[in-house]
């Protein structure tokens, strides 16, 4: 059990075993609760530092992997295009060559907004459902 867990259990035991109606008993319980909170803060701070360290390590691994992929598949960052959905601001990275393809369409994976549509798609067509009984209006 962690130090914070032990301190919480101690405070719980004090609450169950003492009369907290008197000033001295209440002060002892509050002191043990504050010590438990302090221990929790210390543990959370340690976890935060470890997370920052792991985040840096993960970024380094990601950078190394990108270099390996670039060497293996023969592309580099200059051949990639970064887009951002104007509708939901989701960042998107696609091959720049893909944007030159006449039949290419790029849609946002989050909201479905069309970010790029090649000329082969032509102009969007609006369909009319017609008037009453399906007859043109």
Q: What is the pLDDT of residues 50-103, one digit of tens each?
A: 999 999 999 999 999 988 988 888 765 557 888 899 999 999 988 888 788 888
Rounded distance between C-alpha atoms, residue 8 and residue 3, angstroms: 9
Residues sharing a CB contact under 8 Å with residue 43, sequence separation 6 or more, in sequence order: 2, 3, 4
Of the pLDDT bands very low, low, confident and very high (cuts 50, 70, 90), residue 137 is: very low
Q: Over the chain, what is the mean pLDDT?
A: 81
Q: How big is the chain by its Cα radius of gyration, in Å?
A: 31
For residue 27, the model assigns a pLDDT of: 83
Question: pTM of the full predicted structure?
Answer: 0.43
């Amino acid at each position: 059990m962690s130090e914070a867990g032990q301190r919480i259990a101690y405070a719980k035991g004090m609450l169950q075993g003492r009369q907290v109606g008197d000033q001295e008993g209440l002060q002892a319980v509050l002191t043990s609760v504050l010590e438990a909170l302090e221990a929790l803060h210390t543990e959370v701070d340690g976890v935060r530092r470890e997370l920052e360290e792991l985040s840096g390590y993960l970024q380094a691994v990601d950078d190394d992997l990108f270099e390996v992929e670039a060497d293996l598949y023969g592309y580099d960052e200059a051949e990639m295009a970064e887009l951002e959905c104007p509708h939901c601001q989701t960042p998107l990275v696609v091959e720049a060559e893909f944007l030159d393809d006449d039949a290419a369409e790029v849609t946002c994976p989050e909201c479905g907004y069309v970010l790029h549509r090649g000329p082969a798609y032509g102009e969007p067509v609006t369909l009319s459902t017609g008037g009453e009984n399906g007859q043109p209006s």
